[in-house]
Amino acid sequence: MKYLIPLFFLVASFNAATQERTFNYKLVNKDNQAIQTAKIYIKVLGYKTETDSAGRFSFVAPDFDTMALSIEYNGEDYLVSVDASHNGQENKITLSGEPIERIIVNANLEKSLLKMAQPVIILEGDALLTKRGVNIAETLAREPGVSSAPFGPGAGRPVIRGLTGGRVTVLNNGIGTLDVSATSPDHAISSEPLIARQVEVLKGPATLIYGENAIGGVVNVVTDRIPTELPQAPFSGGAEIRFNSASREQAGVGQVLLNIDNLNIYADGYYRNSQNVNLPDSLGGTLFNSGISANGGAVGFAWVSQDSGSIGISISDSNNDYGLPTLNSGDEFVGLSIDQRRVDVSGEIYVPVTSIEKIKVKVANNDYEHVEIEDGEIGTRFKNDATEFRLEAFHNVWQSWRTVTGIQVIQRSYSAIGEEAFVPPSSTNSAGLFVIGERSFKTFDIELGMRFNQSKIGSDVLQNEKTFWTFSSSIRGLKELSDGHVVALSLSHAERPPSAEELLSDGPHLATQSFEIGNLDLNKETSTNVDISIRRSVNRFNYEFNAYLNEYKDFIYERPNGEFIEDLPVFHFTQQDARFSGVEFDFDWAFESSLPFDIKVNGMLDYVRGRLKQGGDLPRIPPLRLGLGVTVIKNNFTINADVVRYMSQNMIAEFETMSPAYTSLNLDVNYSLFKGSNEWLFFVRGTNLLDSEIINHTSFIKNIAPEAGRSLNAGLRVNF
């Protein structure tokens, strides 16, 4: 931390303003009312500013005829062109056009958010900054349809519509994390929230592009580590420091980007240190073995041409040490120490061929190792050497259809050596071929896709490799209605082969307090899925409603048989037909009023039921959740208060216990400030302000590790 604070003030001092002539403007809406606290970005100058309470802003620039401004207001982005005909006087800009459609960086066909038939969540900007947690799962835990399955603060996996583990793929810039987080809930995901520029969630099957392990959804963490976009200024970046009262967390990150003609050079570094988490007063004390010590960094280079494409590389290193919680201070220390070194290469080539628009290539290779430490001694050592390759060709081969054809290849070599090596060493090789086509009509879009995949699993305990062929397909449609309404329907068929862990496990798994026994006779699981969405995203009242049904044949799960080995309950991997169904609803409503501030009301509801067809509920399914919030915006201040009610979960599996209801009250206060080209954001966030006892039903250790009590998070971010 001592190195990050000087870096923070060093990078914050950079200011690229050019002193020439001053141009003054006033931003108003179509009713001629001033728009305050809108963010103004001028790319050609590398300049940022913000409108004042009267809607006014100014900037210094050489003489010009016209200039493009990017304007961010009320969660939407606009692009306007201004002229200098009234230099020295105030020139009015009326914000009356339609907002720019946002692009999902790595989703299928790079479609805009409004054109996605599949339900999507995007976290970026101030919203991401405020919600950033110690891991990706915690960052997303309050989004509709998404929960967290924590194993203490150090590890946690996102839960999408009741599915997690090997059914939810986590990506870094569109390619896998290549860690072992899916093999056990106590293994941390290697994606770091502090360096994320954007986080995308695809809810529902995404197997067509991302493979069979995305049968439940995808989380994609977007960073700038391969800087393939030309920046607004020759030198830019950001720095952030943050603190947490419940865990005494100190964290920081610094990022810089240097542009020399067509060459971009990027570097980042981050640090996090926290201690045992304070529990609610009703429980008393702290959660032992819950501290974290993590650090890492990366360098990246990219050659960018607006005419021919880009090619770039990044080299990153991360280290993460964290404890596995216990309520008893006398228990021996158990924790994990993770080291990962990774190389990523990304290229995009614009092809001068009539039918082909461009070709995208991504390659990642990692050297991953972690050790499990028991009372100061190394217990089990895990290694995972993996490589992933992706190639996508975007083309127009038939009439008005836009198509992407791609291949994905993954090679993985996994080993665990030690007392808790419940899975023998194995290798997994997977190759897939997919094609997706999209056509837009006047008010209707249609998308068709299919994928063939082969997976091979080998191990010394197998006489022959296990080979699985899978097939996935989908048809999706989107219809634009009047008044900004959109209706989307998605029908899909997805298949997932069993993993090496599900086939080969045979031993004590102390993290889950079970003796796991795999099943070599497992078949691939198959899901048939229906998803319908109705949403509105214009003017002051926006909402989205989703309903879905996922019918599984041969769903793979762990079932207890009532026996014990080495004092641990025995769980067998088995298969049975299952059904997941649920609904999601969220809205935001910006009021029109004569009050001296803007006010918004937002709310959400989500519910999922996971059940076996022959009877019985599936374990660790999130409970019904309802939330309501109010946001007040006044000049540079944004204040948001929200309350979320988590209902009790009494629809439980065999040997599972119910989880009580609780209420979570949270308060966010942000203050933004522009100084020259520097954008400052001060933020304070209070979580669990009622000091509720939070028993998270999705956690394997919910009765051992309740979540933190009342907590205050505070920090400062500067972008320059």
Which of these, 29, 22, 31, lies nearest to 57 by C-alpha position? 22
In the chain, the N- to C-terminal Cα span, in Å, equals: 21
On the 0-12 / 13-18 / 19+ scale of CB atoms within 10 A, 464 is: exposed
- Helix (H) or strand (E) run with residue 575 in it: strand 568-590
The residue type of 554 is D
By the 8 A CB rule, do 610 and 578 touch? yes
Q: Assign 3-class secondary structure to 228-282.
A: CCCCCCCEEEEEEEEEECCCCEEEEEEEEEEEECCEEEEEEEEEEEECCEECCCC
What SS3 string covers 435-469?
A: EEEEEECCCEEEEEEEEEEEEEEECCCCCCCEEEE
Contacts of 658 (CB under 8 A, 6+ apart): 648, 649, 650, 652
pLDDT at 18 over 50: no
For the entire predicted model, the pTM comes to 0.89
Q: Are residues 206 and 301 in the same domain?
A: no
Rounded to the nearest 5°, which phi and psi values hold at 367?
-125, 105
Cα–Cα distance, 136 to 199 (Å, whole number): 9
Q: Could you tell me if residue 8 is left (phi over 0), alpha (psi between -120 and 50 degrees) or otherwise beta?
A: alpha
Are the CB atoms for 238 and 216 separated by under 8 Å? no
Residue 547 lies in a domain: yes
Res 88: pLDDT: 59
Q: Which of 188, 219, 250 is at the close of a domain?
A: 219
Dihedrals phi, psi of 212, to nearest 5 degrees? -65, -25
Residue 43 above 90 pLDDT?
A: no
Cα–Cα distance measured from residue 217 to residue 708, given in angstroms and rounded to the nearest whole number: 28
Asked if 599 and 571 sit in the same domain, the reply is: yes
292 and 329 in a common domain: yes
Q: What is the largest CA-CA distance in the chain?
A: 84
**How do the residues of the chain divide into helix, strand and coil, expressed in percent and rounded to 5?**
10, 60, 35
Q: What is the CATH number of the domain that holds 30?
A: 2.60.40.1120
Q: How far apart are CA 693 and CA 640, in angstroms?
A: 23
Number of other residues whose CB lies within 10 A of the CB of residue 676 = 15
User: Tell me: the pLDDT tens digits for 89-114?
Assistant: 678 888 876 666 666 655 555 666 66
Average pLDDT of span 482-492: 90
On the 0-12 / 13-18 / 19+ scale of CB atoms within 10 A, 483 is exposed
Rounded Cα distance, 571 and 573, in Å: 7
100 occurs within a structural domain: no
In total, how many domains does the chain have?
3
- Pairing state of beta strands 377-398 and 356-374? antiparallel
Please determine, for residue 286, whether its predicted confidence score (pLDDT) is greater than 80.
yes
Domain boundary residue among 219, 245, 275? 219
- 625 touches 648 (CB < 8 A): no
Q: For residues 234 and 227, what is the distance between their CA atoms, to the nearest angstrom?
A: 13
Q: With 90 as the cut, is the pLDDT of residue 689 above it?
A: yes
Which amino acid is it at 122?
A: I
- 138, 260: one domain: no
Cα gap 206→116, rounded to integer Å: 12
Question: What distance in Å separates the CA atoms of residue 491 and residue 39, rounded to the nearest whole number?
Answer: 40
Residues 652 and 701 in one domain: yes
Q: What is the dihedral of CA 619, 186, 416, 175, to 10 degrees?
A: 90
Q: Are residues 312 and 183 in the same domain?
A: no
Q: Indicate whether 455 belongs to any domain.
A: yes
Note whether 662 and 685 are same-domain residues.
yes
Residue-wise pLDDT tens digits, 606-648: 999 999 999 999 999 999 999 999 999 887 889 999 999 999 9
Identify the band that residue 496 occupies on the pLDDT scale cut at 50, 70 and 90: very high
Q: What is the CATH number of the domain that holds 555?
A: 2.40.170.20
Q: What is the mean pLDDT of residues 377-397?
A: 90
Label residue 277 left, alpha or beta by phi (over 0 means left) and psi (-120 to 50 means alpha). beta
**Domain shared by 256 and 317, yes or no:** yes
3-state SS of 344-404 is: EEEEEEEEEECCEEEEEEEEEEEEEEEEEEECCEEEEEEEEEEEEEEEEEEEEEECCEEEE
Q: Are 85 and 67 in contact (CB under 8 A)?
A: no
Instruction: Indicate if 329 and 450 belong to the same structural domain.
Output: yes
Q: Let me know whether 71 and 213 are in one domain.
A: no
At 465 the pLDDT is: 93
Place of tokens 């290469």: 345
What is the rounded distance in angstroms from the CA atom of residue 384 to the CA atom of residue 668?
40
**How far apart, in Å, are the Cα atoms of 711 and each of 249, 636, 647?**
11, 24, 22
Type and span of the H or E element at 137: helix 136-140
Cβ proximity of 338 and 155 under 8 Å: no
Q: Which of 47-51, 66-70, 401-405 has the highest mean pLDDT?
A: 401-405
* Number of neighbours of residue 655 by Cβ within 10 angstroms: 12
Over residues 517-527, the mean pLDDT reads 96
Question: Which pLDDT belongs to residue 92?
Answer: 83
Rounded Cα distance, 165 and 287, in Å: 25
Q: Does residue 575 lie in a domain region?
A: yes
pLDDT score for 10: 45
523: three-class secondary structure by DSSP: coil
Report the C-alpha gap between 640 and 643 in whole angstroms.
10
List, for residues 243-265, the tens digit of each pLDDT value: 999 999 999 999 999 999 999 99
pLDDT of residue 113: 66
Q: Which helix (H) or strand (E) holds 131?
A: helix 125-131
Question: Domain boundary at 60, 95, 130, which?
Answer: 95
Cβ proximity of 393 and 356 under 8 Å: yes
Judgement on whether residues 124 and 71 belong to the same structural domain of the protein: no
pLDDT tens digit sequence for 309-362: 999 999 999 999 999 997 666 667 788 999 999 999 999 999 877 688 899 999
List the domain range (segments joined by +) for residue 50: 4-95
**Residue 21 maps to a domain:** yes
How many C-beta neighbours within 10 Å does residue 420 have? 18
CATH number, domain at 129?
2.170.130.10
The answer to whether residues 396 and 447 belong to one domain is yes
Mean pLDDT of the chain: 88
Is residue 103 a part of any domain in this protein? no
Rounded distance, CA 16 to CA 30, Å? 33
* Residue 102 forms part of a structural domain: no
Residue 564 — φ and ψ, nearest 5°? Answer: -130, 140
Query: Which amino acid does the sequence have at 180?
Result: V
* Residue 16 located in a structural domain: yes
How many residues are there in the chain? 720
Contact between residue 436 and residue 452 where contact means Cβ atoms under 8 Å apart: no
Q: Could you tell me if 657 and 650 are in contact, meaning their C-beta atoms sit under 8 angstroms apart?
A: no
Confidence (pLDDT) at 19: 44
